[in-house]
Amino acid sequence: MKSSRKTSHLLQSLLLAVLFVSVWEGCCRLFGISQLVLPPPSAIAVRLQSLVFGGTIWPHLWATLFEILSGFVLGVLAGLVVGALISLIPVLERLIYPYLVALQTLPKVAIAPLFIIWFGYGLTSKVVITALVCFFPVLVSVIAGFHSTDKDQLDMMKAFGATKWQTLVRLRIPSALVLIFAGLEIAAVLAVIGAIVGEFVGAQVGLGYLVVTLNFSLDVAGVFAVLIVLSAIGLAMHAITRYAARRYIFWIRRSDAPVIP
């Protein structure tokens, strides 16, 4: 029953996508819309094929994937460690957390040029920007998860003589996993945005750099083709995170509906 329901939902999504693409293609042909304004899906598919099989996209794809994955891992690790420390040491939450919120409110597009100056036009600056974008959602989810631990369960652990480490490993972390993975799902999508923002500001390689180059040459179909690749990367990151959540918090019944970041 569950498998058939998933298949039905997948077919509905595919039918919606086919309908959307058909309407898009029909409108472009019917109204004679210029490809410089809105290329039809058929032209985008042809341009994507040429980018892939012509080899143009691969160096940029590998560079962006490295930035996304490296920044995501660094941001997640920093968020987990700092979030745990702030949750377990109340004085840190009072002293440090407001400054972290202030840092998060700064537009990443505005501070990205500073990272380009500090870390150069190479991959390092993009990794740092991506890590910064991923850091805060994980930080908030860790703090919220640790604070959501049931007080009666904490009192029971103390009554049985559990150490702080045992309480952390056997109670606090398992109780916080649902919220932590929710933060990871958001960070997985934001990682793509962070890498592209860094490449827009200044880069020598990457899908963001390729978008700027194609846009400068008025290759709108090529821009849409690269955007499709970026969307596929974001969907893959989100799907992998959700799969990991189902594996590691298997005792929680989750809806099949996607989480909207």
Angle between the 173-201 and 207-216 helix axes, to the nearest 10 degrees?
A: 30
* pLDDT per residue as tens digits for the range 205-259: 899 999 999 999 989 999 999 999 999 999 999 999 988 888 887 666 554 444 4
Q: Where are the domains of the chain?
A: 1-33, 40-248
pLDDT tens-place string over residues 121-158: 888 999 999 999 999 999 999 998 888 887 888 788 88
What pTM was computed for the model? Answer: 0.86
From CA 108, how far away is CA 123, in angstroms rounded? 17
Please tell me the predicted confidence (pLDDT) of residue 110.
82
The angle formed by the CA atoms of residues 219, 47 and 11, to the nearest 5 degrees, is 125
Cα distance between residue 252 and residue 212, in whole Å = 43
Residue 174 has pLDDT above 50, yes or no: yes
Which candidate, 228, 257, 242, 206, places its Cα nearest to that of 58? 206
Domain 40-248 listed as CATH 1.20.970.10? no
The token pair that represents 127 in the structure block: 């990794």
pLDDT at site 71: 95
Q: What percent of the chain has pLDDT over 70?
A: 94
Share of the chain above pLDDT 90, in %: 43
